[in-house]
Amino acid sequence: MDQMDQIEQMEWKDLFPPETKPDIRDMAIFIGGEAGDLWLALADYMERAYQAKPKITYSVCSGKPGWNVKFQKSGQSFGTFYPEKGSFSVLIVISYKLDSQMQEILPALNPELAEAYRQAGDFMKNGKWMMFRIKDAAGLEDFKRIAAVKIPPMQ
């Protein structure tokens, strides 16, 4: 196995340990393919639509250890994004105050994502929390719909 094969087999947390902070492009390369392009499109969209810059942080959480990205606007979080091979996941909390708006967009979401919202767990009595994977353009559009419920885009 050559060095490139070894790198391709490495887990995210091992490829970029705590002392080696990646940037958005490093993350896109790790994700790869269409999903890597979508990662860059997400960062661009958040900047244009919300003026939200990526905040890259390291997590020791046993569920998803390693570097991740958070986008926030006016103290409101759009979620935590985790790079993965061929996709990325988002952990998002949606306030109970937004439930009626979420109910309105559920028919437009992927049926599995809509059901995940319906079944989402309680987050400290403040709202529903859910994690879902984005691997194609439809998944990114679903995220944009949910983000717009949290805060309407500027454009």
pTM summary value: 0.87
Closest residue by Cα to residue 35 from 113, 133, 155, 118: 133
Closest residue by Cα to residue 69 from 59, 60, 82: 82
What is the pLDDT confidence band of residue 116, given thresholds at 50, 70 and 90?
very high
Q: In what order do the strands lie in the sheet with 55-59?
A: 55-59, 66-73, 76-84, 87-95, 127-134, 121-123
5 pLDDT more than 60 = no
Least confidently predicted of 43-47, 48-52, 114-118, 120-124: 120-124
- Note the pLDDT of residue 3: 42
Q: What are phi and psi of 127, to 5 degrees?
A: 170, -170
- Note the pLDDT of residue 8: 62
What is the pLDDT confidence band of residue 9, given thresholds at 50, 70 and 90?
low
